[in-house]
Amino acid sequence: MKNQQLYQRIDSSTAQQEDLSAQPYSVQSSQRIIGYDFAKGIAVWGMLVMNFKIVLAFANPAPLWLAKITQIFEGRFGVMFIFLAGIGISLITKKAYQQHDPKKIKQIKLTLIKRAVFLLAFGLLNTLIWEADILHYYGIYIITAVIALNWQNKTLIQMAVALACGFVILNFFIPWERGWNFEQFVYTDFWHWKGFIRNLFYNGYHPIVPWQAFLLLGMVFGRLDIQQKQIRKKLLKVSLGIALITESISFLADNHLAGESWSFILSTTAFPPFPLFVVAGTAETIVLIILSLNFVEKHSQNPLIQPIAKTGQMVFTHYVFHVLIGMTPFYLNGKLGTYSVTFALVFASIYFVLAVLFTVLWSKFFKRGPLELLMRKICG
């Protein structure tokens, strides 16, 4: 009965009147929504820009205007990936819940858990060469999502709020800097069980508290009938307004309250991730996703849409490859941190073009990317 209430069909007139926090799972077209893949493809470019900037130019500060611009996007593309993962989980489980098929639901949960374990293990291996790895966090995000699959939207939102506030509470008990050597920018006790748990849940690059919130909120978004223009339009306006308000608060706090010991709580930066970062990151992600959906619908014949969308579908492959192929040569040559920010941005953009070209060529022979195929072969 609980799942029946969660996934019952609603018509357009009701959907426009209901509070989105309590809205049940809406019925959408079963056809793949290319706009989501396109948004993910754009996020691949953003990921490359931010990561190559960090790795190639950390010793060379950017001009103030460029530093301010890049700071705005700090962590945002990681948020976008996680939010889109939440959307994807809702979409792949939608049909099974609507048909009240316990066997299918159990199968989907098992597949998700297998993939979570795979990503956790793969990510831990990846940390040996890329300490800012996000994959092992993904493993925990997905396991938590499996537990939350049949939660009402209201419960998912409440849990997301609790995670955002939980980070502030943890700050009163555990210094956020614990475990970090910021001079060398390494986590000193990552491979000790206490340090690992602290890093995973509290002060790592993408800790469960509060980053798990983005996946839960993505699950809520994935349950909405986003094909309805009224819902999309309302979400765009509200999210844009929230993004402007939160970023303005953070800007004013940074410029007028810098001397206050508590002003850092009003930051929208991803490191450390205080509540305004969760709010701003979610709102900005929704804006970018809806703009992507609108762009794909209005310019469906644009020749760039399919290549970028396919690149988004191969995000796992491109994430790992940008570390192995994009960063390793600079590491071997001892050139990390020696370049300008401008060089890093240009290099990231050129790399993205090459990644898209690789995706197009690969897609002529295979439906999925190399690592996506590997994961599907092992996990189903």
Type of residue at 64: L
What type of residue is 235? L
For residue 226, is it within any domain? no
Q: In the predicted model, what is the mean pLDDT of the chain? A: 87
Burial class (CB in 10 A: 0-12, 13-18, 19+), 340: middle
Residue 310 lies in a domain: yes
Residue 7 lies in a domain: no
The pLDDT of residue 100 is above 90: no
Question: What tokens does 67 get?
Answer: 């530093």
* Burial degree of 131 (CB within 10 A; 0-12, 13-18, 19+): middle
Q: Give the residue ranges of DSSP H helices in the chain.
A: 2-6, 12-17, 34-57, 64-72, 76-98, 102-126, 135-147, 153-173, 193-198, 208-223, 229-256, 275-298, 305-313, 315-321, 328-332, 341-363, 370-379
Query: In the prediction, which pLDDT does 296 show?
Result: 94
Q: Is residue 59 part of a domain?
A: yes
Q: Are 85 and 115 in contact (CB under 8 A)?
A: no
Distance CA 79, CA 134 (A): 11
326 CA to centre of own chain: 21
* Residues 171-185 pLDDT 10s: 999 999 999 998 878
* pLDDT of res. 74: 82
Q: Is residue 79 part of a domain?
A: no
28 found inside a domain? no
Residues 224 and 49: their CA atoms lie apart, in Å, by: 31
Choice among 120-124, 181-185, 227-231 with the minimum mean pLDDT? 181-185
231 domain-assigned: no
- For residue 78, the model assigns a pLDDT of 93
Residue 324 gets which letter from DSSP? I
pLDDT of residue 332: 83
- Overall domain count for the chain: 1
Looking at residues 163-175, what average pLDDT do you find? Answer: 94
Please write the tens of the pLDDT for every residue from 14-60: 333 333 333 333 434 445 789 999 999 999 999 999 999 888 887 67
270 vs 314: CA distance, rounded Å: 25
How many angstroms separate the CA atoms of 265 and 288, rounded? 25
Please tell me the distance from the alpha carbon of residue 380 to that of residue 377, in angstroms, as a whole number. Answer: 6
Share of the chain above pLDDT 90, in %: 66
- Give 212's pLDDT tier (boundaries 50, 70, 90): very high
Above pLDDT 70, what percent of the chain? 89
> Does residue 92 belong to any structural domain of this protein?
no
Cα–Cα distance, 8 to 26 (Å, whole number): 7
What b-and-e string marks burial along 234-262, b requiring 16 or more CB atoms within 10 Å of the CB? ebbeebbebbeebbebbeebbeeeeeeee
Per-residue pLDDT, averaged over 294-302, amounts to 92
Q: How far is CA 306 from CA 41, 99, 182, 357, in A?
A: 10, 32, 41, 12
pLDDT for the residue 21: 35
Cα angle for residues 227, 146, 213 (degrees, 5° grid): 70
The per-residue b/e assignment along 347-358, b for 16 or more CB within 10 angstroms, e otherwise, is bbeebbeebbeb
Q: Whole-angstrom Cα distance, residue 285 to residue 270? A: 14
Residue 64's domain spans which residues? 44-73+304-380
Helices marked H in 225-366 — which ranges? 229-256, 275-298, 305-313, 315-321, 328-332, 341-363
pTM metric for this prediction: 0.88
Length in residues, the chain: 380
Phi/psi at 181 (5° precision):
-110, 95
The predicted pLDDT at position 261 comes to: 65
Q: What is the pLDDT of residues 234-293, one digit of tens each?
A: 999 999 999 999 999 998 888 777 666 677 788 898 989 999 999 999 999 999 999 999
In this prediction, residues 74-100 reach a mean pLDDT of 90
- Check residue 178 and give its pLDDT: 95
Closest listed residue to residue 270, CA positions, set 317, 206, 346, 336: 206
pLDDT for residue 30 = 41
**Residues 6+ positions from 272 with CB-CB distance below 8 Å:** 167, 171, 176, 203, 264
